[in-house]
């Protein structure tokens, strides 16, 4: 899921026209070694924290359907995680950095969630919203100043971006739908049948008889055991009838 959020952010920034202007979008940590290797204007989207949203944890399973509407698997309910990104820009002049940072900020605040067109993999399959937010509250993750201290660099203008994304639960495939009827073996246990077999029981060898449901696609809520009208023996009448 994390790499899919990375890809969605990259596509979102690419839609702002950064690659066409020679601006690179990378996910490297902005360390001193990174700044020494940089050769072009760069936007760094560095993932520095992951925290689960325990308030959104759910129990139970969700059915997964194929194109024909048949249940093919069950999944545990997804769990939600907050991904914290430190977004910085790097150029040769401070004015250019501020201008580029403003463009990136405009792009990230123009939407409240990652557009569906940017989602891939499990995020696209789940069809759930991946929210975006510029952090304005303490959620227990490291502060930006602590991140800069850990990186060994000097504090510089940055965007503290948060993405709230679902992590898919475990998948349990189900068996294929039943399309064939039951196989029934008939055995006559009467006295005459036992005498004919010579051992007191009639043999039940053979492939048996398969019950088939021709043209049946949906048996309905009662299944194949739904009520059927049967012909009564002579002299019998259906219950509840007076004639």
Cβ(83)–Cβ(162) under 8 Å? yes
Q: How far is 127 from 62, CA to CA, in rounded Å?
A: 13
At residue 87, the pLDDT reads: 95
* Residue range 114-133: mean pLDDT, rounded: 93
**Which of 9-13, 33-37, 133-137, 220-224 is most confident?**
9-13
Tell me the pTM. 0.67
> How far from 40 is each of 83, 91, 151, 235, CA to CA, in Å?
27, 7, 21, 98
The CATH number assigned to the domain holding 163 equals 3.30.2000
Residues 148 and 200 in one domain: no
Residues 108 and 192 in one domain: no
Backbone angle region of 77, left / alpha / beta, with phi > 0 → left and psi within -120 to 50 → alpha:
beta
Choose among 21, 28, 32: nearest CA to 44: 28
Residues 116 and 157 in one domain: yes
Specify the 3-state DSSP secondary structure of 189: coil
Residues 62 and 8 in one domain: yes
DSSP type of residue 187: -
Residues 115 and 69 in one domain: yes
With cut-offs at 50, 70 and 90, classify the pLDDT of residue 44.
Answer: very high
* Residue range 118-139: mean pLDDT, rounded: 87
Residues 142 and 167 in one domain: yes
- Measured in degrees and rounded to the nearest 5, phi and psi for residue 47 equal -80, 115
Residues 81 and 140 in one domain: yes
3-state secondary structure 206-222: CCCEECCCCCCCCCCCC
Residues 81 and 118 in one domain: yes
Residues 114 and 24 in one domain: yes
Which one is predicted more confidently, 75 or 159? 159
What residues contact 97, with CB distance under 8 A and at least 6 apart?
Answer: 89, 90, 91, 157
Range of the domain at 196: 178-243
* Residue range 7-18: mean pLDDT, rounded: 94
pLDDT tens for each residue of 68-90? 777 877 878 889 999 999 999 99
Boundary (domain end) residue, out of 116, 142, 173: 173
- The structure tokens 């049948």 sit at 193
Boundary (domain end) residue, out of 120, 147, 173: 173
- Burial string for 48-64 (b: 16+ CB within 10 Å, else e) reads bbeeeeeeeeeeeeeeb
State both tokens at 25: 């979008």
Residues 38 and 147 in one domain: yes
pLDDT tens for each residue of 172-230? 777 766 666 666 666 666 655 555 555 555 455 556 565 555 555 555 555 555 555 66
> How far from 67 is each of 71, 168, 180, 215, 218, CA to CA, in Å?
10, 20, 22, 21, 16
Q: How far is 5 from 129, CA to CA, in rounded Å?
A: 12
Give bridge partners of residue 222 from the DSSP assignment: none
What residues contact 99, with CB distance under 8 A and at least 6 apart?
Answer: none
At residue 149, the pLDDT reads: 85
With cut-offs at 50, 70 and 90, classify the pLDDT of residue 171.
Answer: confident
pLDDT higher than 80, residue 8: yes
At residue 238, the pLDDT reads: 60
Residues 34 and 126 in one domain: yes
Q: What total of structural domains would you count in the chain?
A: 2
At residue 196, the pLDDT reads: 52
Residues 142 and 116 in one domain: yes
At residue 131, the pLDDT reads: 95
State both tokens at 157: 């203008």
End-to-end CA distance of the chain: 70
Cβ(134)–Cβ(161) under 8 Å? yes
């Amino acid at each position: 899921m994390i790499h899919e959020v990375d890809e969605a952010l990259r596509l979102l920034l690419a839609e702002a026209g950064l690659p066409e202007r020679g601006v690179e979008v990378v996910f490297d940590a902005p360390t001193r070694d990174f700044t020494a290797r940089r050769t072009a204007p760069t936007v760094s989207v560095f993932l520095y924290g992951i925290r689960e949203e325990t308030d959104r944890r759910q129990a139970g399973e969700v059915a997964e359907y194929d194109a024909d509407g048949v249940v093919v698997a069950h999944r545990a309910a997804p769990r939600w995680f907050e991904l914290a990104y430190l977004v910085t820009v790097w150029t040769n002049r401070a004015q250019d950095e501020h201008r580029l940072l403003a463009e990136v900020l405009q792009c990230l605040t123009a939407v409240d969630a990652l557009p569906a067109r940017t989602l891939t993999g499990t995020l696209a399959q789940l069809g759930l919203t991946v929210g975006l937010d510029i952090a304005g509250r303490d959620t227990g993750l490291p502060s930006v100043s602590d991140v800069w201290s850990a990186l060994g660099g000097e504090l510089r203008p940055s965007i503290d971006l948060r993405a709230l994304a679902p992590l898919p639960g475990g998948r349990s495939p189900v068996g294929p739908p039943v399309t064939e009827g039951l196989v029934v073996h008939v055995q006559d246990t009467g006295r005459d049948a036992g005498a004919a077999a010579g051992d007191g029981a009639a043999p039940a060898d053979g492939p048996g008889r398969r019950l088939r449901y021709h043209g049946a696609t949906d048996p309905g809520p009662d299944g194949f055991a739904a009520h059927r009208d049967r012909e009564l023996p002579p002299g019998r009448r259906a219950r509840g009838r007076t004639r």
